[in-house]
Amino acid sequence: LPEDFDWREKGAVTPVKNQGSCGSCWSFSTTGALEGANFLETGKLVSLSEQQLVDCDHECDPEEEGACDSGCNGGLMNSAFEYTLKAGGLMREEDYPYTGTDRDTCKFDKTKIAAKVANFSVVSLDEDQIAANLVKNGPLAVAINAVFMQTYIGGVSCPYICSKRLDHGVLLVGYGSAGYAPIRMKEKPYWIIKNSWGENWGENGFYKICRGRNICGVDSMVSTVAAAVRS
C-alpha cells in the first residue's frame, strides 16, 4: 500500500456538494462512491444525481420493519446501492438536479442513465483492508459519528473520546501518513473524508480524521461499489 493516497489528485472525486437542510448525506455518500467507481471503469468523471435517490429510492431492510431509505429523513448507502442496482443506474446531476427537498414524484428517466452498479460489498473492520479497498476500488462510502463535525474547522480530528454511534454518511477519498500533531508530539496518519456540507465547511469541504482506533466509528460501516460498463 502506498504511504499516502488521494483520489482527488487522480481526478476521481467531483467538487464538494451541499446537501442543504436535508438529511440526505447517505445519498451523497452513495453517489460519491459510484462516481469514483464509474471513473475507474470509464476514465470519465461524471457527477451523479442525489435527487434521484432522494425521490425514488425507498429501498427497505427486509429484516427491520420501517427501516427504509427516506429522502431527507435519512437512508443507508448499502440500500441505495441496492436500489441503484435494481433501478438500472443513476442519472447525471445535470439531468436530475438536487433540490434538497422531499418530493412525491420520482422523475427517473431510464434512457438517461449515466452510471450503473455492477456489485457492491462491505469491507471488514480492518484499516489495512479499508486502505486496500480504497486504493483498488476507488472512494468508499463510510458512516461516521458526526458529533465533532459540528464545530470542526480544520486539522486532523483525533478526539480522546468519541461515540461510535453512526449517524452520518460520508465518502472516504484518501489517506495521509503524517498529519502534524503538535500537542501529542508525533505524526499521525489520517483518513481524508469528503463531506456534503459545502466548501465553506471544514477544510474546503473535507474532513481529516486520524487512523488507527476506529475513531468515531469511521471503520465500522465501509462499503465499496463497482460500476458496470454501460452498453
Partner 1 sequence: DTFSDDQLIKQVTDGSDELLGAEHHFTLFKRKFGKSYASQEEHDYRFSVFKRNLRRAARHQKLDPTATHGVTQFSDLTPAEFRRTFLGLRKLRLPKDANQAPILPTSD
Residue closer to partner 1, measured from CB, 161 or 229:
161
Question: Is 22 known to be catalytic?
Answer: no
Tell the smallest beta-carbon distance from residue 226 to partner 1 (Å). 10
For residues 26 and 108, which CB has a smaller minimum distance to partner 1 in the complex? 26
Which residue shows C-alpha cell 463535525? 149
| Residue 73 annotated among the catalytic residues of the structure | no
Do the beta carbons of residue 211 and residue 175 sit within 8 Å? yes
68 catalytic per annotation: no
C-alpha gyration radius of the chain:
17
Q: How far is the CB of 84 from partner 1 (least distance, A)?
A: 15
- For the bound state, the minimum distance from the C-beta of residue 158 to partner 1, rounded and expressed in Å, comes to 5
**d(C-alpha 77, C-alpha 74), whole Å:** 10
Beta bridge partners of 187: 180
Q: Which residue among the candidates 133, 137, 145, 195 is catalytic per the annotation? A: 195
Task: Specify the amino acid at residue 6.
Answer: D
209, three cell numbers: 480524521
Which of 22, 25, 158, 162 is an active site residue? 25
Whichever of 46 and 80 has its CB closer to partner 1, that residue is 80
**32 contacts 14 by C-beta, under 8 angstroms:** yes
Active-site hit among 137, 168, 210, 216: 168
Cβ-based nearer residue to partner 1, 112 or 148: 148
Cβ neighbour number for residue 155 with a 10 Å cutoff: 15
Residues marked as catalytic? 25, 168, 195
